[in-house]
Amino acid sequence: MTRSIEPNRPHHPGRSLGVASIDPVPLFRDGLSALVHRTQGLHWAGHAASHHSALQLAEQVRPDVALIDSGLDPQCHLTKLLAAGDPALLIIVLVRQSNRTAHYLTAAIGAGAHAAIPREAEARRLAEAIRRAYTDRRYIDPALSALIARPKRQSPDGANPKAQMPLSRREYQVLQLVAEGLENSAIAKILYLSVETVRTHVKSILRKLSARDRTHAVTTAFRSGILVTQPDDAVGVPRETQFTKAVGTADTPTV
């Protein structure tokens, strides 16, 4: 089913598409940024390296396109939250070799992804995928299309019971920060919430996950697939708690 562009964010000829990267590897993000900067009709909107910073980026910057590393979102929780938060957002998953399965692709599309392309694809293929996905609101790279003959929009929860997401969007952000060892006061500053609001979210998380305490909640979340470990190539890369927004970008002709 094709999703329409929101009335409050029309896309008309002459306005370029703002592209954001959600990827934990700085070198890869830099490559995407360079590609976007030299592609007519696109401009760089910023990047995020974790789930909660990606949600902040989507809320505050509202890019037109989000390029999501499948290794950072193997259960498609982030894809689902981003799609639900902004129906106009064009979501493209960059699929790692380890995620190149019919199960993952079906789950990603069911969660709200509009396109899928191999993460190692050359620059020209990625630029073309963005254009095709924007025009048709659906694009599967030929290298992946054989895995799913007829991609359908269905809930990934039904395909994988362990992938269920019992938490709200904000609770998920709080849990991500709890997993990084942050206390309520630090979480409140990052998410621009009061400490009492964060405390309320933590209590709700404990209740929903049937956890005794914060540590138990994090352990349960990792075991159930609600939280995921960083991809191997991101090991040793500092975790980012804030997204980075591109500034000073100018509109160019649309793709």
CA 4: distance to chain centroid?
A: 20
Three-class secondary structure of residue 9 per DSSP: coil
pLDDT for res 145:
86
99 and 215 inside one domain = no
49 and 137 inside one domain = yes
55 and 147 inside one domain = yes
pLDDT digits (tens, 9 = 90+) for 8-17: 455 555 578 9
36 and 136 inside one domain = yes
Residue 208 sits in a domain whose CATH number is 1.10.10.10
pLDDT band at 240 (very low <50, low <70, confident <90, very high): low
Q: Is the pLDDT of residue 31 over 60?
A: yes
94 and 76 inside one domain = yes
Residue 10 in domain: no
Whole-number percent of the chain with pLDDT over 70: 79
Residue 45 in domain: yes
Residue 120 in domain: yes
138 and 206 inside one domain = no
Looking at every residue in the chain, the average pLDDT score rounds to 83
Residue 251 in domain: no
pLDDT band at 241 (very low <50, low <70, confident <90, very high): low
75 and 23 inside one domain = yes
pLDDT digits (tens, 9 = 90+) for 184-199: 999 999 888 999 999 9
189 and 69 inside one domain = no
pLDDT for res 160:
45
pLDDT digits (tens, 9 = 90+) for 116-138: 999 999 999 999 999 999 999 99
Residue 231 in domain: no
Give the domain extent around 199: 166-225
Residue 255 in domain: no
- Enumerate residues 6+ apart whose C-beta is below 8 A from 25: 69, 231, 233, 234, 237
Q: Is the pLDDT of residue 98 over 50?
A: yes
Residue 124 in domain: yes
Looking up tokens 């630090």 gives: 186
Number of structural domains (the chain) is 2
* Mean of pLDDT values over 94-119: 94
Last residue of a domain, one of 105, 132, 156: 156
Does the pTM of the predicted model rise above 0.75?
no
Residue 11 in domain: no
132 and 41 inside one domain = yes
DSSP result, 56-93: HHHHHT--SEEEEETTT-TT-HHHHHHHHH-TT-EEEE
* Mean of pLDDT values over 212-227: 89
133 and 172 inside one domain = no
* C-alpha atoms less than 13 angstroms from C-alpha of 147 in its C-beta half-sphere: 21
Taking the C-alpha atoms of residue 93 and residue 108, their distance in angstroms, rounded to an integer, is 8
Last residue of a domain, one of 156, 181, 211: 156
pLDDT for res 7:
37
* Mean of pLDDT values over 174-189: 92
56 and 148 inside one domain = yes
The CA distances from residue 206 to 22, 86, 218, 227, in Å, are 28, 27, 9, 14
148 and 173 inside one domain = no
* Mean of pLDDT values over 52-56: 90
pLDDT band at 232 (very low <50, low <70, confident <90, very high): low
Q: Is the pLDDT of residue 78 over 90?
A: yes
